[in-house]
Amino acid sequence: MTESLEQIAKAMVAPGKGILAADESSGTIKKRFDAINTESTETSRRDYREFMFRTTDAMKNHISGVILYDETIRQKAADGTPLVDIIKAAGSIPGIKVDAGAKPMAGFPGETITEGLDGLDERLAEYYKLGARFAKWRAVIDISPVIPTNACIEANTEALARYAALCQKNGIVPIVEPEVLMDGDHTADRCFEVTETTLRSLFNALARHNVLLEGTILKPNMVVSGKKCATQAGVQEVAEKTIKVFKRTVPAAIPGIVFLSGGQSDELATAHLDAMNKLGPLPWALSFSYGRALQAAPQKAWAGKKENVAAAQKAFAHRAKMNSLASLGTWKADLEKA
């Protein structure tokens, strides 16, 4: 293996760079395309992702890696170039989503377990050949007055650890994503408590499975109020609570933490990331691995039309730059007007 896991992980959280999550499943991308009145076909999905990967400024300067879906990692651009090669040419690292989704957990109403471990070793070996150097697996932890249960947290973090060990065996850096959902009416304090329990369980499981922390990236939620909570935690409170929970649970050996946006608005996701970096210096790099918070604006600008590609690329470059500044703690709200 030419590059070590540690080198790849470090490059994924290089200063001022973050990850583009372009790994929406066919069902999810169809919903996004329905919203912009565009038919979701293999060609339209390819055209959409291709214009992002060809946004040179964003890809070269602000995006360290791209999480792909199984279809996308095998696709060629309109001119016949593999999409993976376009990503690599921009100096970005191709990655792959490998979980098979969250399925209802038997015996635990309202809770899910992420599947996809069967045959994963062989799939990872193939993805490595296709150019992937990192992977992603998402566990979903919901909050209500009676959940999550310890059984759900432990089953999901055990699966994350088994996935991570298989990735590293195949020369692939695992992104471990335990997402505590922001649906519901819970307070930020309740989110803090569940996030703390989940992260403790995760790092215990990673240790049990001999996962190399220096070659692992964490993709967590921020500590926020539930969407339906009457009192919403402000930007500063979210930043302070999130850093506090990480200082309690995340070993300094982890090279970086890349946040999911989890349904936050574009600007709020950027503001939260910036506020956290302003609380530094911190033991780990803090950056982004946003899907919707990087793509909502370019999707709207594109609307499935060729003639809108330049405007859509401009929107994508702007969001990538704003989040890049936030990852350095140098973002300001008035820069958004640009």
Residues 215-250 as b or e (16 or more Cβ within 10 Å = b)? bbbbbbbbbbbbeebeeebeeeebbbbbbebbeebb
β partners of residue 18 = 63
Using DSSP's 3-state secondary structure scheme, residue 256 falls into strand
Identified catalytic residue from 177, 179, 241, 321: 177
C-alpha count within 13 angstroms, C-beta hemisphere, residue 260: 24
Helices (H), ranges, the chain: 5-12, 26-35, 42-53, 56-61, 70-73, 83-89, 120-129, 150-169, 188-208, 235-249, 266-277, 292-302, 309-328
Identified catalytic residue from 10, 17, 97, 219: 219
Instruction: Assess contact for 134 and 173: CB atoms under 8 A.
Output: yes
The yes-or-no answer on residue 219 being catalytic is: yes
The yes-or-no answer on residue 177 being catalytic is: yes
Alpha carbon 61 to its chain centroid, in Å, reads 18
DSSP state string for 3-31: S-HHHHHHHHT-TT-EEEE----HHHHHH
Using DSSP's 3-state secondary structure scheme, residue 227 falls into coil
Contacts of 248 (CB under 8 A, 6+ apart): 196
Q: Checking DSSP bridges between strand 112-114 and strand 134-141, what pairing results, if any?
A: unpaired
| The residue type at 254 | I
Q: Which residues are part of the catalytic machinery? A: 177, 219
